[in-house]
């Protein structure tokens, strides 16, 4: 066998090894992190533990309207909803709501009434601050990403 043929065999083996390592890494990641959260077109969580599935914490002390199935209309963050809606009491989280099969909902939006401001933390570890200022004369739905949110305040502005 020539040196060139041996080099070709070694490259093919290395290519298969890299492909195997990548496949195993992806499989392990999915196993640890779970499947992707439900899309904005599915009102329910696809994960049994509801991690990364639109859980909304309401630490504001006032009731907040929440909804599934957000659709951007006015911008990427402001739109309409077509799914389940609920009033989330103050100092509670959205896991108090389940469907008839006991599955959690994938909450995608919060409602901000006219001339109101909503202050919340979102994203990984709920570390990113958002301050939605609705200066309109009508209420609007604001998007919540699949990592969830912590509503800290809802007040007139």
Q: pLDDT digit string (tens) for 32-73?
A: 333 333 345 556 676 555 555 788 999 999 999 999 999 999
pLDDT digits (tens, 9 = 90+) for 33-44: 333 333 455 566
Calculate mean pLDDT across residues 3-21. Answer: 49
What percent of the chain has a predicted confidence (pLDDT) above 70? 67
Q: Is the entire prediction scored with pTM above 0.75? A: no
Write down the mean pLDDT value for the chain: 77
> What percentage of the chain's residues is helix, strand, coil (to nearest 5)?
25, 35, 40
Distance in angstroms (rounded) separating the CA atoms of residues 12 and 102:
50
């Amino acid at each position: 066998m020539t040196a060139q043929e041996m080099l070709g065999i070694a490259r093919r083996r290395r290519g298969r090894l890299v492909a195997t390592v990548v496949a195993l890494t992806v499989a392990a990641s999915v196993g640890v992190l779970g499947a992707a959260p439900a899309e904005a077109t599915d009102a329910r969580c696809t994960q049994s533990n509801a991690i990364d599935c639109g859980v909304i914490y309401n630490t504001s002390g006032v009731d907040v309207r929440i909804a599934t199935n957000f659709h951007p209309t006015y911008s990427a963050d402001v739109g309409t909803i077509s799914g389940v809606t609920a009033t989330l009491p103050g100092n509670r989280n959205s896991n108090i709501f389940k469907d008839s099969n006991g599955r959690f909902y994938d909450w995608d939006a919060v409602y901000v009434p006219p001339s109101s401001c909503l202050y919340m933390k979102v994203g990984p570890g709920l570390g990113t601050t958002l301050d939605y200022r609705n200066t309109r004369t009508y209420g609007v739905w604001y998007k919540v990403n699949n990592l969830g949110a912590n509503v800290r305040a809802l007040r007139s502005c």
